Amino acid sequence: MFRKITKAFLLREDIKLDPSASIQALYDIVTSVRVTNKRDTNRLNVAKEHLKSIKRNIRSLNERVNALEEELKVLNEDK
């Protein structure tokens, strides 16, 4: 993935990253980290909760964007 992004950047191509996929990848990384002390365990749990919250917010924003796009289509058809 990094090579693809780098190549697209160097060739000045449009880079389209899926935020949901990026968040899922981060969540997988955070989940796979193993810690030995309670402080770091708590910090990772907080990070997981933040990622879940971000994922919910992105889902909500995507739903809102879709609704607004539908409204725009209806308005454009009325003209």
DSSP 26-55: HHHHHHH---SSHHHHHHHHHHHHHHHHHH
Q: How many CB atoms lie within 10 A of CB 50?
A: 14
- Residues 13-61 have pLDDT tens digits of 666 678 888 899 899 999 999 999 999 999 999 999 999 999 999 999 9
| pLDDT at 12 > cutoff 90 | no
Contact call for residues 44 and 35 (beta carbons, < 8 A) = yes
Torsion, Cα 58 59 63 69, to 10 degrees, reads 40
Residue 40 φ then ψ, to 5°: -70, -35
- What pLDDT does residue 6 have? 73
